[in-house]
Structure 1
């Protein structure tokens, strides 16, 4: 299967949209990730019609969703190959890790708000695995984060979402 997209659902965990390239997949099967090296049990499978509709089995050629119990979208790398754990496969061509082109530092206005900023950034990165986050310290600004983005628009959208009152609660 080729991993096309993923997002985080607070009840089911990470929901992956995949294209089944070859074979079949059933609920309860064990799968592995070629790029991440982790194994998972398939908890739910189905089609998007337009809401998620469980089918129990997936067949070659379908574009479907799977729920595996992944806890973070960082485990679901777009373009990764997912396969039955018992088999060995060559990863599908085209997988390349995200290349960050723009970097920015994020620091709280007040040093005591670091944990709130940390929580807000973790919340936003649940649905955006293409952002790289590294904690850093500055003598002038205190504790903060160095974030890598795919481009200026990506950074601007992330920054605007970070400032929304429902994301960060200081």
Structure 2
């Protein structure tokens, strides 16, 4: 006699997410493209023969060329555009990850505090979130950049400080 408990194993959250991803072809394709781009921006600059600031005096403002090794060409200062594009991808990836972590920290803390206090305090805190939802995102980021200057850390904080509203809900 077989026991049904032995046959039914609960799936973990990761296993369930993986099965859902594999079932959706568009999501699976997007996952593999995102993974390829992430690997390219992380590993690509290490494999290319040119550095980020390295100038190739023989190929200033050159068109893309396989023979010269400049697959995207060079800029007006002779720097390889492929390396600079991949470094820009690294910065974009870093901004996405850090600003997500900042928004997660602010939003979960704010939402948990509102839920813990409950009642009128919760209602008031969520109305503040509603008011902030009404403000345009890009305007607030530009305003923060004008007030505090251009800085990569400020970009992390500005984007994270705006996106926490969804996490607080």
Instruction: Give the TM-score normalised by the residue count of structure 2.
Output: 0.23
Structure number, greater radius of gyration: 2
The structure with the greater share of residues assigned to strand is 1
Instruction: Give the TM-score normalised by the residue count of structure 1.
Output: 0.23
